Structure formats: C-alpha cells, structure tokens
Amino acid sequence: MEKRGSFSNVRGFILASVGSAVGLGSIWRFPYLVGDNGGAVFVAAYLCMVLLVGIPVLLAELAIGRSSQSNVYGAFRKLAPGSKFPWHWAGGLAIITCVFILAFYTVVSAWVTGYMFEAIRGTFSKLETPAQAAKLFESLTASPRWVLPFQVLFFAATALIVAHGVKKGIERSCEILMPILGVLLLGLAIWGALLPGGSEAFTYLFKPNSQLTTRGLAEALGQAFFNLSIGMGVMITYGSYLKKEENLLRASISIVVFDTLVSFLSAIAIFGLLFSMGGKPVGGSDLVFKVLPVFFPRMWGGQFFAVLFFGLLALTALAATISLLEVPVSYLVDERKWTRKKAAWTTAAASFLFLGIPCALSPGPLANFTWFFRQTFFDFLMFVSSNILLSVIALATTLFVGVAWGLRPARKAITEGSSAAAAVPAVVWKLLIWVVCPALIVLTLVAAATQYIQP
Ligand code: TRP
C-alpha cells in the first residue's frame, strides 16, 4: 500500500491551499460576477458570506481533515463511527463534484493558456476596442481545434503533478508562482486605478447603488465557496496531510486574506481599465478576455506582460486543478488501494472524456444544445456545481460537525495550537455552526433553486 503523503510544514500547506484557492475563481470569475450582479451590493454580499459562512466552514473542513487524517470519504466515517446517517455520502458527492468542476475549469484554463500563445503570436496588437476583443474571444473559443489541445495539455499537466505526490508535486509548484502573480496583479490594479476614469472602479465596487437579486445572493455564497475551495473536500484532504500541532485559524485566515486580496485587486484592475477606456460596467464570462487584451498593447512592454499575465494565470489555474484532482485521487489511494499514478491518470481521463469535451464544445458546436434548463452544458455544469452541489456538501459538513462529530471535539480540534481560536467563546462557534451557517446555506440554496423553477 502507498504511504499517505504529507506537507513538509505548515508553510507548505498554506502555500498549497492558497494556491488552490487563488485561481480563475478570483481573477476570472469574481470580476464578471460583480459585473453581472450590479457592483458594490454583490461585493458586500460576498464579503458577508465569506465572513459568516466561509471561515467557519473552512475551519470545520480543516479540522475534519486533520483529526481524521483521511480522505473525504473516509473522514466522515472515521469521526462518527456509530452514526446511522450515511455522512460519508457527502464525501462521495464531494468526489463527484470535484470531477465536475475539473471538467469546466480546465476549459477556462485552456482559454487562458491559449491566450498566452496568442499573446506570443502578437494577435492582440490589432485590437482597438473591447467589442473587437469580444469578437476574437468568441471566434477562438468556438473552435474545437483551438480549445481541445490546450485542454488536453492541462489535464495531462495536472495528472502528472498529482501522480508525483504531495510534497514534490504540489508544494513546490505553488511556492514560486504565487508571489510573482501577486506583484503583477498589484501593478495592473494600480495602473488601472491611476488612468483617467479608472478610479470610478472604486465607486462601482464599494458604493452600493442597486439591489441584490435572488440570483446575486445565491451567486455570492457560491462564489465564496468556489473562491475559497471549500464545500467539496479539498480542504479536508489538504487538512489530512497536516500534523496535529499546526495552527488552523492562522492557516484559514491566510487563505481568506490572500484570496480576497487577489479577487479585489483583479476586480479593481479589470474595472479600472474598462472604465478608463470608456466602457460600461458589464459582466459575462468573457469579461477578463475582452478587457485585458485591448489594454496590454497600449502599455510599455505590453506583449511581454500579456504573455507573463496569461502564463501565470494558467499556472495558478493549475494549482487549483491539482487540488481538485487530489480529492478523488486520495480517495482511490486510501480506500481502493489504487496506486497514485493509476488514480491520477484514470480520473483525469474520465473527467476529460465524459464531461470535459462537452464543456469545451459548449461555446461552439454545442452552443444550441441547451436542454439543460436552457443553458449550455458548460453553464449548466458550472451553475449546478458551484451554486448547488458546493452548498449541499457544505451544509452536510456543518450538520456533520454539529450533530454527528459533536461541537466539543470539533472545537477542541480547531483550537489546538491556536490561542486566538481558543479565545472565541464556545457559544459563538455553536451559533455559527448550528444556526448561521445552515440558515444562510439553505436560504441561498432555495434562491438558487428558484432560478430553475422560473419559467
Ligand atoms: N478556488 C479555486 C479558484 O478560485 C477553484 C477551486 C480549486 C475550487 N479547488 C476547488 C473550487 C475546490 C471549489 C472547490 O479558482
């Protein structure tokens, strides 16, 4: 049997989990959801969700992982051995959800990688307006010959790294990339904010002037989960590679702070640049792809920075896909006694063949194939995974902690090694895990479900 992996120290763990959290979710998804949902109200709703639900669930997941030292499926069984309720089904669902997310996430990763190559070829130098960039985006992403090779490349890179295990593969690759991307984003944000008209981005992002829609509410929580990589066992799995004495509160706060910072920087950069070009606030999943390519050619060394930006974005996406693949792989290795190599390649191949290809073809050949609740397969899989499945699993996780594992042992696991966490009164944990988290999750689940029932 293969030995279980582990991180070399807490720094390696924080790097890997920040690497999992920071990705396309912060840089591509956050800005366009803000645009879709009217700016500052969405930002405010998102922040509330992160604080009230994100942090407690993140802590709960890490504690479950570290205490059980086991994969998602095994963890639920190990911590509540006598329970009649099949909690480990939530683990099973988490494993499937990871395979779903992997399928559409690699499509966007393929677009990003493709854009890096287009930047190298100098395609963007001809672009003058966001409308032209949007057209280019449409024609590129509609072409299977352009998307599929990059997607295959992405799946292969992910499987290769995961097959190499926790320390060598995951830790090392995150260590170098994160700081460079951070500096680059900071530069873009400052640039965007300083351009004439660019500072409007702050008003747009931080001064509410519209109402939150039902869909906006559901998406705020979905994005909080998606962005922090919670609600599907990634943090349970990563937590299980941690030693007992590490400080979970510190780890969670680092994850949340970095992730939120990156989301905000990229929203400031994108909207600052958009407003400086006289654009109106818009959403749509092509937002990043239609703003940045127009902008890069206008700046000094633009081509170099474009290549660097899309290249790094592809690499952070890789840190995220690694964490996604790690969940099913750790299950197959622990419970089914597969080798790491076989587990990684088989899962990646299955996710690509059965789900990844239809997602990749959604903007092009399958664009009219919308019998999934009037959405393309890509949009459907993304909405169901991030707004429904992540919430269901997170709900199961909080109920599991509150009911089956027990608040006392859970609190003990969370506060071990952290005096700050110990200082939070038990009643606050109780309120969060028993009332606030489940109530908000159920509310947003209902909100998400109504999106489908509407005629
Ligand atoms: N958090 C990543 C991002 O923002 C995506 C991601 C990686 C993810 N692992 C996850 C989302 C697990 C949900 C669950 O890009």
Mean pLDDT of 409-418: 87
Between CA 238 and CA 247 the distance in angstroms is 14
Residue 1 has pLDDT above 60, yes or no: no
Q: Whose CA is nearest to atom 8 of ligand 1?
A: 229
Check residue 103 and give its pLDDT. Answer: 96
Helices 88-121 and 144-163 sit at what angle, rounded to 10 degrees?
120
Backbone phi, then psi, for 213, in 5-degree steps? -85, 170
pLDDT band at 83 (very low <50, low <70, confident <90, very high): confident
Residue 105 has pLDDT above 80, yes or no: yes
With a CB cutoff of 8 Å and minimum separation 6, the contacts of 352 are 103, 106, 151, 152, 155
Check residue 41 and give its pLDDT. Answer: 95
Check residue 394 and give its pLDDT. Answer: 94
Q: Whose CA is nearest to atom 4 of ligand 1?
A: 25
Mean pLDDT of 309-332: 90
Check residue 45 and give its pLDDT. Answer: 95
Residue 418 has pLDDT above 90, yes or no: no
Q: Cα dist. 96→120, 163, 325 in Å? A: 36, 19, 11
Q: Whose CA is nearest to atom 9 of ligand 1?
A: 229
Q: Whose CA is nearest to atom 7 of ligand 1?
A: 320
Q: What is the dihedral of CA 54, 55, 57, 63, to 10 degrees?
A: 150
| Weakest mean pLDDT among 4-8, 56-60, 298-302, 373-377 | 4-8
- How many CA atoms lie within 13 Å of 192's alpha carbon, on the beta-carbon side? 28
Q: Confirm or reject: Cβ of 323 under 6 Å from ligand 1.
A: yes
Helix/strand/coil for 217: helix
DSSP letter for each residue of 140-170:
HHT-HHHHHHHHHHHHHHHHHHHHT-IIIII
Tens-place pLDDT, residues 240-270? 888 777 788 888 998 999 999 999 999 999 9
Q: Confirm or reject: Cβ of 109 under 6 Å from ligand 1.
A: no
Mean pLDDT of 12-17: 80
Residue 191 has pLDDT above 50, yes or no: yes
| Weakest mean pLDDT among 84-93, 160-169, 361-370 | 160-169
pLDDT band at 285 (very low <50, low <70, confident <90, very high): confident
Q: Confirm or reject: Cβ of 227 under 6 Å from ligand 1.
A: yes
Residue 384 has pLDDT above 60, yes or no: yes
Residue 2 has pLDDT above 60, yes or no: no
Q: Confirm or reject: Cβ of 234 under 6 Å from ligand 1.
A: yes
Q: Confirm or reject: Cβ of 54 under 6 Å from ligand 1.
A: no
Residue 166 has pLDDT above 70, yes or no: no
Mutate to test the pocket of ligand 1, among 227, 325, 384 (most ligand atoms within 8 A of CB): 227
Check residue 157 and give its pLDDT. Answer: 93
Q: What percent of the chain has pLDDT over 70?
A: 96
Between CA 97 and CA 396 the distance in angstroms is 14
Between CA 111 and CA 59 the distance in angstroms is 33
Q: Confirm or reject: Cβ of 23 under 6 Å from ligand 1.
A: yes
- How many CA atoms lie within 13 Å of 277's alpha carbon, on the beta-carbon side? 22
Check residue 175 and give its pLDDT. Answer: 72
How many angstroms does the Cα of residue 210 sit away from the middle of ligand 1?
28
Structure tokens belonging to residue 289: 């792809």
How many angstroms does the Cα of residue 123 sit away from the middle of ligand 1?
30
Check residue 85 and give its pLDDT. Answer: 87
Check residue 170 and give its pLDDT. Answer: 62
Residue 214 has pLDDT above 80, yes or no: yes
Average pLDDT, the chain: 89
pLDDT band at 455 (very low <50, low <70, confident <90, very high): very low
Mean pLDDT of 119-138: 92
